[in-house]
Homo-oligomer: A and B are copies of this chain.
């Protein structure tokens, strides 16, 4: 019997999570049963939403159980199949978790999906052509729905989601303005991703300064905002928002460790007749095919660019995840296993 190395969550964080919340565990790998598929995971996806699941506070998803494999998206290759829908060598995307192998009953619909890597790299199915890409697509097209000439702002703009938001906005003729941390990320957002402007929030620790930067980057005001951060960024954007502006609320990473992040002036929702809508992309599966079609085409033709931060080996996953929460990654954070 082979060995499967896994990362378990062994305790819940109080405040900021640490590597001690995780443990590397060696588990036996059972034989493949009828209907099952054994997948060698090539890449793990690390995503901000996982921070929420580490806590057991009431939220939209059940918490990650303790002493079990951390949940998460994966891409990999089928090594053994006793399911007629899959064969060894198939490239697949699934929710394999933080482990080297996953053994799944592949007859459950959606548990494992074959992907075509002719024009799209395998890892992209965890990023631009996966959950982060569809998240960007949903918030931009279903909530913000920008018209040509409108201005769309996105926080965490160099990330897997934010980068796609701006490029999708540009593809629709909108002005795209990013907010990111540090000159390197901002340069990348403008020069490589093609945003019209990017604000380095580390240069603007005070609301007044951030407001001035937004005014300069968005001379016509803000019509749409894709929120990944919350806190002062959200307050500042609301103060520069135009009438009938829309905010897609995707994440509020500034409050993930339990810090209070009040919205300073909710009366602006009324004054500016704004719409603010929270969403979770997994609740809109019916739109994934349409989203993936556009995203896949854009990646295959080089019109949707992205960058990856790749940690090496399963043991590096916890540290890489904590770095992601602090914005140390640059683009999509992955862990490479093979």
Q: Does A260 contact B (CB under 8 A)?
A: yes
Name 8 extra pairs, CB < 8 A, besides A60-B271, A273-B280.
A60-B272, A60-B273, A260-B265, A262-B264, A263-B263, A274-B277, A274-B278, A275-B275
- The residues in A between 245 and 292 inclusive whose CB is less than 8 angstroms from any CB of B are 249-252, 255, 260-267, 269-280, 283
Which residues of the partner chain B approach A274 to less than 8 Å between Cβ atoms? 276-278
A266 x B279 contact (CB < 8 A): no
Sample of 17 A–B contacts (CB below 8 Å): A58-B271, A230-B266, A230-B267, A234-B266, A251-B270, A252-B267, A260-B265, A262-B262, A262-B263, A262-B266, A269-B276, A269-B277, A270-B280, A272-B278, A273-B283, A275-B278, A276-B277
Closest to A270 in B: B278
How often does this chain occur in the complex, in copies?
2
Docked Cα-Cα span, A275 to B277, in Å, equals: 4
Which residues of the partner chain B approach A108 to less than 8 Å between Cβ atoms? none
- Output the least CB separation between A326 and chain B (Å): 19
Which residues of the partner chain B approach A272 to less than 8 Å between Cβ atoms? 60, 278
Q: Does A25 contact B (CB under 8 A)?
A: no
Which residues of the partner chain B approach A276 to less than 8 Å between Cβ atoms? 269, 274-277
Known: A273-B278, A278-B271, A278-B272. A261 touches B252 (CB 8 A): no
B275 x A269 contact (CB < 8 A): no
B267 x A255 contact (CB < 8 A): yes
Q: Does A59 contact B (CB under 8 A)?
A: yes
- Output the least CB separation between A284 and chain B (Å): 10
